[in-house]
Structure 1
Amino acid sequence: MSIALVEKLFTVFNVTADILKDELSCTYLEGLAETGENLFHEKILQEELSELTERRLLKAYSEVNLEEFTKEQIRQAFQLAILKGMQENVQSNHQMTPDSVGMFIGYLVNKFVEKPAIRILDPAVGTGNLLATVLNQLDKSVESAGIDIDDILIRLAYVNANLLMHQVQLFNQDSLAPLFIDPVDVVVCDLPVGYYPNDVRAAEFEIHAKTGHTYAHHLFIEQSARHTKEGGFMFLVIPNGLFESEQSSHLHEYIKNNLIIQGIIQLPEAMFKNKQSAKSILILQRKGEGTTPPKSALLVDLPKMSDGPAMNRILADIDSWLIGNKK
């Protein structure tokens, strides 16, 4: 039944995005953002549409009522439509984080962060799918913020947040420029991998390379730490070779001085195209009064998430590790 509802809502997103794409001479993703706004406001906001187009849109919208869907169903349907739009013209760093990874990060945030009310940041928010997946898992009162330099992606994140009724502040800017946001309790981020082209700005970071371009994913770690409260946590999706690159010595030094490695959870290789593109979840805590390193870091190789018994064993191991480190 849940899958049927997701497909039903996806069909409405898809059909109406295509209608608006043709009528407004825009991309599918721009049409999707427009139709998402219409659904949220429960009216057609575009003034330049023909009467026939308005009738076609209203007929499609009448087939769904957002109140009948769960937040996860809305997120999944919107994500499917975004994925379709991204197949038209996508850059490699616009790939969406797999749902299972977002759900697992949400699980980790609930386990590691005991506060009943938190602020959370995704400094590379993209379409907002990872942040939305995490927010849908949390059993806390949450305010959140997201940053992205791509204006289409940030608009989709805005529509996504509205449809899901999430409180999210969104900023359309270079995530590695100065950020005017209050410190947060939690950072979640699927780190953009590659070189950062702005050497002048990179030089403002401790981690910057002494010659040539600095890795953006290294800079994102420092930027995230700068905006995390003392004792706050960072849950970062990282390339498996993060600590083995030619620039990793700067990263090691920065982490040693400012952060505590709580754990590294290696994601199943089957989730990725090849071994070289495989990733892990790095759990960091910002040093502060009362923070202490774990007796030993949490090191986990996740099985396929479809393997229920193996996943249950891993979750039990994580629970035991957390209990052991609270004593």
Structure 2
Amino acid sequence: MTTPVERLFTLFDETATILQEELQCTYLEAVAETGENVFHGDVLQEEVSELNAKRLKKEYKEIQLDRFTNEEIRKAFQLAVLKGMKEHTQPHHQMTPDAVGLFMSYIVSKFTGKYLALTILDPAVGTANLLTTVLNHLPGKQVKSYGADVDDLLIRLAYVNANLQKQPIQLFNQDSLQPLFVELADVVICDLPVGYYPNDANASRFVLKAENGHSYAHHLFIEQSLYYTKEGGYLFFLIPNSLFSSDQSAQLHTFLKEQAVIQGLLQLPMSMFKNEQAAKSIFILQKKGANVKAPKKALLAELPRFSNKQAMQVMMRKIDEWFATEKHE
């Protein structure tokens, strides 16, 4: 028996392969095209031959999207995107691993438990995989969400991904370190793009700009995110473990002390990464505001392997206890 995710992935994969040949485009572009077709239940590309158009329509007809859950749709689409990314990966086209996205969703829902309505921003939205994972795990809340990314293909995939899951996300195809036309957010989530930011002229607007040479993009993203967060709002970043040991970390430290309180730092299991240099953590900040108090002690933990159910249950209990004492839940 195939699972719903496998069935849906096969549809995306087979139809994208047909479109890739017909349109003479990359597999990843074809995934965006076929996702659009699935959403409309039709073949939108005029260049497709009559024979293949018939074949595609038949495939699309056989799949009824409303029989699948959002998470099934997201996972199947993600598998097709990952296949496409393997073909021509640029370093910044790395998708947040699923286990991390799910854990991030759990943490976001814990911190936003009391919110009935909230606004979420992901300033490095990519294909919207992380953002839709979080949205799918916030049932019963009124959520407005925004995503921005400089890469036009990734934004197209994000748009198709959001449509297929019926998640009304407002997407912006732009350099996220330029001014954003979004409401201030209650929550920012971001798998920080790590590296140097090439636009020195724009970087010069930021407090965290480098004294000389290029500035760190990941530092500027933290500053930009805080700028677009409401007072008392929460920020959840996936950060490189080297964030506080780099040559510009003293400046970052001072800036964070002024602007935010650190709620937590959760180190992801080493087993998830090729080497120590690639290792990441979830960094949780709260923007300073009138009623914001720093926790007596921040939520600090080294997470066990996500596949180790027992150790994860112990960790979840510790996190629950922290919330009970710090957040009085």
Residue 27 of structure 1 corresponds to 26
Residue 159 of structure 1 corresponds to 160
Instruction: Report matched runs for 1:158-197 at 5 Å.
Output: 158-197=159-198
Moved more, 56-65 or 126-135: 56-65
The Cα of 1:81 is off from its aligned counterpart by 0.3
Q: Distance in 1 between matches of 2:99 and 2:117?
A: 24
Contact kept? 2:119, 2:187, Cα under 8 Å:
yes
TM-score by length of 2: 0.97
Q: Distance in 1 between matches of 2:327 and 2:96?
A: 31
The Cα of 1:64 is off from its aligned counterpart by 1.3
Structure 1 letter corresponding to 2:127: T
Residue 126 of structure 2 corresponds to 126
Residue 112 of structure 1 corresponds to 111
Moved more, 112-121 or 160-169: 112-121
Structure 2 letter corresponding to 1:18: T
Q: Distance in 1 between matches of 2:82 and 2:181?
A: 31
Q: Distance in 2 between matches of 1:142 and 1:10?
A: 28
Q: Distance in 2 between matches of 1:213 and 1:48?
A: 44
Residue 15 of structure 1 corresponds to 14
Contact kept? 1:190, 1:236, Cα under 8 Å:
yes
Q: Please list the CA deviations of residues 28-86 of structure 1 after superposition, one character each: whole Å capped at 9, or x if unmatched.
A: 11111111111111122112221101111012213311111111111010000001111
Contact kept? 2:192, 2:238, Cα under 8 Å:
yes
Contact kept? 1:208, 1:250, Cα under 8 Å:
no
Partner SS state of residue 94, structure 1: coil
Q: How many correspondences in the alignment?
A: 326
* Residue ranges of structure 1 left out of the alignment (5+ in a row): none
Contact kept? 2:41, 2:61, Cα under 8 Å:
no
Residue 89 of structure 2 corresponds to 90
Indicate yes or no: 2:288 matched with 1:260. Answer: no
What is the aligned-residue identity percentage?
Answer: 60
Q: Distance in 2 between matches of 1:144 and 1:269?
A: 31
Q: Distance in 1 between matches of 2:300 and 2:62?
A: 48
Partner SS state of residue 58, structure 1: helix
Residue 199 of structure 2 corresponds to 198
Instruction: Report matched runs for 1:213-228 at 5 Å.
Output: 213-228=214-229
Q: Please list the CA deviations of residues 66-125 of structure 1 after superposition, one character each: whole Å capped at 9, or x if unmatched.
A: 111111111010000001111111111111001111111111111111211111011000
Q: Distance in 1 between matches of 2:207 and 2:276?
A: 30
Indicate yes or no: 2:98 matched with 1:99. Answer: yes
Contact kept? 2:41, 2:57, Cα under 8 Å:
no
TM-score by length of 1: 0.98
The Cα of 1:321 is off from its aligned counterpart by 0.7
Q: Please list the CA deviations of residues 257-307 of structure 1 after superposition, one character each: whole Å capped at 9, or x if unmatched.
A: 001100000000001111110000000000001000000111011000111
Instruction: Report matched runs for 1:28-43 at 5 Å.
Output: 28-43=27-42
Q: Distance in 2 between matches of 1:209 and 1:286?
A: 23
Partner SS state of residue 119, structure 1: strand
Contact kept? 1:123, 1:146, Cα under 8 Å:
yes
Q: Distance in 2 between matches of 1:206 and 1:25?
A: 45
Contact kept? 1:142, 1:167, Cα under 8 Å:
no
Q: Distance in 2 between matches of 1:289 and 1:323?
A: 22
Contact kept? 2:195, 2:216, Cα under 8 Å:
yes
Structure 2 letter corresponding to 1:69: F
For the aligned residue pairs, the C-alpha RMSD in angstroms reads 1.0
The Cα of 1:7 is off from its aligned counterpart by 0.8
Contact kept? 2:127, 2:157, Cα under 8 Å:
yes
Q: Distance in 2 between matches of 1:309 and 1:24?
A: 49
Instruction: Report matched runs for 1:269-284 at 5 Å.
Output: 269-284=270-285
Q: Distance in 1 between matches of 2:74 and 2:25?
A: 23
Q: Distance in 2 between matches of 1:57 and 1:110?
A: 39
Q: Distance in 2 between matches of 1:11 and 1:204?
A: 47
Contact kept? 1:262, 1:285, Cα under 8 Å:
yes
Instruction: Report matched runs for 1:47-86 at 5 Å.
Output: 47-86=46-85
